[in-house]
Amino acid sequence: MQFFSGSVFLSGMAVITASGLTRTFTAHRGTVEAVRGIDLAVGHGEILGLLGPNGAGKTTTLRMLTTLLAPTGGSATVAGCDLVRDPAGVRRATGYVAQSGGVDPNISVREELVTQGRLYRLPKARAAARAGELAHDLGLEGLLDRPCAALSGGQRRRLDIAMGLLHRPAVLFLDEPTTGLDPGSRAALWELVRRLRADFGTTVVLTTHHLDEADALADRLVVVDNGVVAAEGTPRALKTAYAGSPDASLQDAFLAITGRGPAPADTTPVAV
């Protein structure tokens, strides 16, 4: 099955690149530098965890990479498309699940999913079929004809995720995707992310405050703090470098990297 028509990715090639990506906001109190120069390279089929404290610049970075927010400076490409020169190409190749969803409370789950598919120019029959497939994968089968307004918080979150997957994106951005999910739904989402990569070579970038989630899912982690990359590497490498042992908790490494906790004597940054 072809996962995303129009793009060919080779193993080891960077599907996402960013160089000096910045974003400033001007308010009545002055200029705020939300992102102060992010450099990234994410490979085909990689699951990248983007971590950082609140206000570190994670969501702003995702919003720039998905064309929802114009960068103030720097450059980036997603799926071979330049962020500024070809935003439509970026949107065709990507799915984005934001922290807060935007479903229409007045229509059914099925209508919401089919409408999302049609917005990506899927034929109506194909959009309906994809709605059924995703409802099965995300435990929404019995809810397809229920109004979105009647969904629980966890059900609505699963619908948000399904909407991001309707067009089978080559690159999937997930901003705190398991917020509000019960343990079973959370485990099911982890398995879905792994299957997307295994079956279709999907590249996934996710932010999360659940460090066990990042440790379990991500091939590589990028820790952002104060709008810049503070550390990057595999979970094992970061735990070894910043918490003193590959068997340490990722939380201990995270606290050391961000200065929110004690660090071992030797904290040489690594990039693995």
User: Does residue 167 form part of some domain?
Assistant: yes
Split at pLDDT 50, 70, 90, the class of 10 is: very low
- Cα radius of gyration (the chain): 19
Q: Could you tell me if residue 262 is inside a domain?
A: no
First to last CA, the chain: 32
d(CA 171, CA 179): 21
Q: Assign residue 72 the CATH number of its domain.
A: 3.40.50.300
What is the average pLDDT value for the chain, to the nearest integer? 88
Sequence-ordered list of residues with C-beta below 8 angstroms from that of 229, at least 6 positions apart, any chain: 38, 39, 40, 222, 223
220-262 pLDDT, tens digit per residue, is 999 999 999 999 999 999 999 999 999 999 999 999 999 865 5
Range(s) of the domain holding residue 104: 44-233
Q: Is residue 187 included in any domain, yes or no?
A: yes
Between 238 and 154, the more confident residue is 238
For the segment 59-110, what is each residue's pLDDT rounded down to a tens digit?
A: 999 999 999 999 999 999 999 999 999 999 999 999 999 987 778 899 999 9
Is residue 220, in this structure, part of any structural domain at all?
Answer: yes
Query: What is the pLDDT at residue 6?
Result: 31
- 78 is a domain residue: yes
DSSP state of 162: H
Query: For residue 241, is it within any domain?
Result: no
- Lowest mean pLDDT of 8-12, 139-143, 261-265, name the range: 8-12
Question: So what's the pLDDT on residue 261?
Answer: 56
Whether pLDDT at 21 is above 60:
yes
Are 169 and 95 a contacting pair, CB within 8 Å?
yes
For the chain, what percent of residues have pLDDT higher than 90?
A: 72
What is the number of structural domains in the chain? 1
Between strands 220-225 and 47-51, the pairing is parallel
Cα–Cα distance for residue pair 253/24, rounded to 1 Å: 29
Predicted confidence (pLDDT) at residue 1 exceeds the cutoff of 90: no
Q: Does the residue 263 lie in any domain?
A: no
At residue 29, the pLDDT reads: 78
Please tell me the distance from the alpha carbon of residue 209 to that of residue 165, in angstroms, as a whole number: 22
- Asked whether residue 264 is domain-assigned, the answer is no
